[in-house]
Amino acid sequence: MLKMLQEAEKILSPEFRGDARVVMVCTPALTLALYISSFRVEVSLLIMAIACMYAGLRALKAVIIASPFLAFFAASSLLLSDATHAATTTFGLASLVALGSVLAAIPPAELSCALVYFKVPYRFAFLVSLAVRMFRVYIRDLRQAMEAMKLSGERGVAIYAKLLKAMTSIAVLRSIAIAETLYSRGFSGKAECFCRRPSRFDYLVLLFSAIVLVYSLVLVSGMM
Amino acid sequence: MIDSMIELKNVSYTYPNGRRALDNVSFHAQHGEKVFVAGKTGSGKSTLLRILNGLIPGFYGGKLNGDVRVYGRKPGVKRVFFVSQHPEEQILCDRVIDEITFPLLQRGWSWRDAVSSAEEAAKRCGIEHLLERSTTGLSEGEKQLVVISAAMASDADCIVLDEPFSHLYPDIAGSILKKLLRTDRTVISSEHRLEMAEYFDRTFWLGNSGEMDSRVDSGIEEDLRVDREKVGREESSIVVEAEGLTAGYGEPVVHTSFEIAEGEIYAIVGPNGSGKTTLLKTIAGILKPIEGKIRVRGRVSMAFQYPNYHFSARSVEKEVSPEMLEVFGLTHLSNRHPHTLSGGEAKRVSIAKAFAGDVVLLDEPTAGQDYAFRSRFLRIARKTGKTVVIATHDLKLASMCDGVIELC
C-alpha cells in the first residue's frame, strides 16, 4: 500500500508538456467515443495509445496502480455477464484510467488558465486548480500518516479505520488553513492567465481524438 | 507622515468554541518599528497577530472586545501581510513565481509589475533559482522562504510573521531576518527562539516575562552536563549503527556513518534540504538505504514534523500512556481531542506518544515550542532512558546532546 501511494504521488506530480486546453477537449471526446462504441477493444486500444503518447510510462503505471480495482471490476463483470464482455469492459476502464493520468499530470496553473480560456470564471477555475493541488497534498498526507501508524505498531485492517479518522481530521484542518490563507491574501478573483501555444503534437492528438470519436459514431450508425 | 499606526487597547478575545485567548491586552507599534512578540505556547501570540490583519474576527468569528486600529482604520488584509508558521498551508499556487505574485495580482497589480517585484524579492531571499519550480517538490524550509518572499514583494505597510523561521536553518533565518528588518515597513514577528529578539527594536511580552525562562534554561544546561558524564558507553550497547550509509528518495542525499549507544541522545543537524528527515526515515526503516548498512536494535518510533499524522483516537489519553502524559506535563490535555489542540500542544503530544518505542526518532521536536519546553525537553528525554535521535535546526539543543551527526 505504501509503495502504491508513493507511485501515485509520482503520477500526480505535474510534469506535463502539452496544451491543457487540448487535453480538456480530447479527454471528454475520447470518453464519449468509448461509451458510444460500447467499450470496443480497438477504441480502448486507441485511447490507451493516445494516453501513452501524452503521458508516456505514467499512463501504464497508473493502470498498474489501479490493477486491484480493475481486477475487482473484472470479477464483478464476470458474475453479471460473460468472459468476453468482462474483458472488454475492464480493458476499456483501464484505458480511461490511463487517460485520467494525462489529466492528472496537468499543472494546476495551466488547468485554471485552460478553464478561463473556455470562459469559466477565474474564481471558479482557481478553486478547481487549488483542489487539484490539495489532492496531491492529501495523497502525501495519507502516505505519511500510514508510515506514522505502521511505526507506532498498528497492523492489519484496523490501520485503515484509524487512517480514515486521521485523514478526515487532517483534511478539515488543511481546508480551514487554506481558506484562511485565501482570506489573508485578499483573494478577489483577479488573475493573469497565459496559455501556451499548442504544438504540432497537440494538433496531432486533437486530430487523432477526432478520428476516434468519428470512428465510434460510424460504428454506432453501422449497428443501427 | 504616518505615526503610531498600530494600536490595540484593552483587547480581549474569545474563540467561537469559548476558549479565551487574550485578556485585556494593549499593544502599539509606530510605523517602521520592528517589534518582537514573545510568550509561552498558548499565551496568545498567534491570536494577537491574527487580529492585526483582520483574520480575527473576520475569518474566525468569536468575540473581540476593545479598540483595534491599524493605520487609523479597522484591521484588514490590504495593509498587513500575514505569514503563518506552517508553510505548506499557505501555498496556494503550483509554481513559485505564481505564489509570490498571487497577492499582488489580487490587489490589482499588472502581471509585469508583479513579476518584477517577485523577482526582486526572490533574489533578496536567495530563491531566484526556484522561481520556475513547482511548489509541490520544495522542502518545508524552501516553502517558508517562498512565503516570506511573497511578503517582501507585497506593498503592505506592515508584515506580521507568526514563527516564520521554525523551518529554517539558523544562518539562513538570520540573514533573511536582517533583510526583512532593513525595510522601512513595520515588522511584527513572534518567535520562540529568543536569541532573535536582539535584531528587533523592542520585545513585547505576552504572559510571563522571559527572565524566568532563561534562568530555567541555564540551570538545566548544568543538569544535562552532569547527566551526560554519567552515561558510559559499551560496545555491546550500540543500538543504532550506520556503516557507509547512502540514503535518499531514489537520488542519494545523505552519506554518513555513525554509532549510537543505548540511552544516548543524538542530534542530526544540517541546512535545509540536507536530508535530516531522510536519514530519520532510513533509521526508521521507512526508506531503504541506497548503499551501506543500517542496523537498529529495539522497536523504533517516530514523531513526524506534522503531529496530526499520529492521531486517530478521540482523546489524548487514548493516544498516549498516562505515564508519558505525566512525564511530559500533559495531563491537563487528557480529555481533549488531539486534532483540536494548538500546533505546539499537538507536537508535544506526538512526542510523548513517540516515547513508547525503544529508539525514539524526533523530527524538529522543538520547532514552535516555547523556551521552557525546549530547555526541559532534553531532561525529560534523559529521564526516560531511551535512545533518542533528533533532527533539528536548533543548534543550542544539538550542542546539549551526546553527539551530533552533521549533514551538508
pLDDT digits (tens, 9 = 90+) for A50-73: 888 888 888 888 899 899 999 999
Where exactly are the structural domains of chain A?
Answer: 1-106+197-224, 108-193
What sections of A37-157 are H helices per DSSP?
41-55, 57-65, 67-80, 83-104, 108-117, 122-151
CA distance A176 to chain B (A): 9
Sign of CA dihedral A115, A121, A126, A128: negative
Q: Does A83 touch chain B (CB under 8 A)?
A: no
Average pLDDT over residues A116-142: 88
Q: Using an 8 Å Cβ cutoff, are B39 and B205 in contact?
A: yes
In chain B, residues with a C-beta closer than 8 Å to the C-beta of A151 are 284, 286, 300-302, 357
Average pLDDT over residues A168-182: 91
| Strand B387-391, strand B238-247: pairing | unpaired
Grid cell for residue A113: 488558465
- The answer to whether the predicted template modeling score (pTM) of the entire model surpasses 0.90 is no
Q: Does A70 touch chain B (CB under 8 A)?
A: no
CA atoms within 13 A of residue B227's CA, in its CB half-sphere: 20
Convert the pLDDT of each residue in B25-41 to its tens digit.
999 999 899 999 988 77
Taking the CB of residue B1, how many other CB atoms lie within 10 A of it?
A: 3
Residues 6 or more apart in contact with residue A150 via CB below 8 angstroms: A2, A159
Grid cell for residue B174: 538570520
At B216 the pLDDT is 41
Chain B residue with the nearest C-alpha to that of A134: B92
In chain B, residues with a C-beta closer than 8 Å to the C-beta of A192 are 105, 110-111, 114
C-alpha closest to that of B31 among B196, B205, B187, B177: B187
At B1 the pLDDT is 44
Q: Using an 8 Å Cβ cutoff, are B56 and B10 in contact?
A: no
Instruction: Indicate yes or no: CB of A130 within 8 angstroms of CB of B301.
Output: no
Q: Using an 8 Å Cβ cutoff, are B165 and B296 in contact?
A: no
In chain B, residues with a C-beta closer than 8 Å to the C-beta of A162 are 312
In angstroms, the CA A61 to CA B398 distance is 43
Instruction: Indicate yes or no: CB of B106 within 8 angstroms of CB of A190.
Output: yes
In chain B, residues with a C-beta closer than 8 Å to the C-beta of A186 are 77-78, 103, 106-107
C-alpha closest to that of B27 among B63, B64, B52, B59: B52
At B134 the pLDDT is 85
Q: Does A179 touch chain B (CB under 8 A)?
A: yes
Convert the pLDDT of each residue in B297-308 to its tens digit.
999 999 998 899
Instruction: Indicate yes or no: CB of A183 within 8 angstroms of CB of B301.
Output: no
Instruction: Indicate yes or no: CB of A186 within 8 angstroms of CB of B312.
Output: no
Q: Is the pLDDT confidence value at A7 over 80?
A: no
In angstroms, the CA B339 to CA A181 distance is 20
In chain B, which stretches have pLDDT less than 50?
1-2, 209-220, 222, 224, 226
Residue predicted with more confidence, B263 or A105 = B263
In chain A, residues with a C-beta closer than 8 Å to the C-beta of B319 are none
At A88 the pLDDT is 93
Q: Using an 8 Å Cβ cutoff, are A62 and A11 in contact?
A: yes
